[in-house]
């Protein structure tokens, strides 16, 4: 299980990326293709064409962290249906855990949970 604060967002690239890239290559991909700031502290997720490898890029205090996972068998679950012009999809942290564990989003069911209001009223 990955424990992250609610303020951290997870962005998954919808198009495959060459995972031979490391810190600089993935941060350039984030800026140019995903239009996301790699220094924001959010998690950027990249899959290869065969969907058997994934890299997570995130900025932590003082530098980048890259997490690389390669499956010996099988593939990571496909993302929801997205239109071709969409560069990335935002996931919840629990959906990232499901992705890394190979659980398909479409087949998973979650119970309804309380969510704080998106716009707090000020008086």
pLDDT per 10-residue tile (average), the chain, 123 residues: 79 92 92 92 93 93 92 84 81 85 71 73 56
Structural tokens at position 105? 């989003």
The DSSP 8-state label assigned to residue 34 in this structure reads I
User: Which of 86, 72, 21, 23 minimizes the C-alpha distance to 48?
Assistant: 21
Other CB atoms within 10 Å distance of the CB of residue 58: 19
Structural tokens at position 53? 């490898």
Render pLDDT for 61-74 as a digit per residue (tens, 0 to 9).
889 999 999 999 98
The torsion angles phi and psi of 26, rounded to 5 degrees, stand at -70, -35
Beta strands in 1-123 (DSSP E): 10-13, 43-47, 53-60, 63-70, 88-91
Structural tokens at position 104? 């398909």
Which pLDDT score, from 0 to 100, does residue 1 have?
57
The ranges assigned to domains in the chain are 10-101
């Amino acid at each position: 299980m990955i424990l992250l604060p609610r303020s951290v967002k997870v962005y998954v690239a919808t198009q495959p990326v060459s995972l031979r890239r490391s810190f600089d290559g993935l941060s350039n991909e984030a800026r140019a293709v995903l239009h996301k700031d790699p220094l924001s502290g959010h998690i950027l997720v990249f899959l290869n064409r065969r969907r058997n490898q994934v890299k997570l890029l995130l900025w932590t205090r003082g530098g980048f962290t890259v997490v690389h996972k390669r499956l010996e068998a099988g593939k990571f679950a496909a993302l929801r249906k997205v239109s071709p012009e969409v560069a990335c999809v935002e996931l919840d942290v629990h959906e990232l855990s499901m992705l890394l564990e190979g659980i398909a989003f479409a087949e998973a069911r979650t119970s309804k949970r309380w969510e704080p209001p998106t716009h707090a009223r000020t008086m």
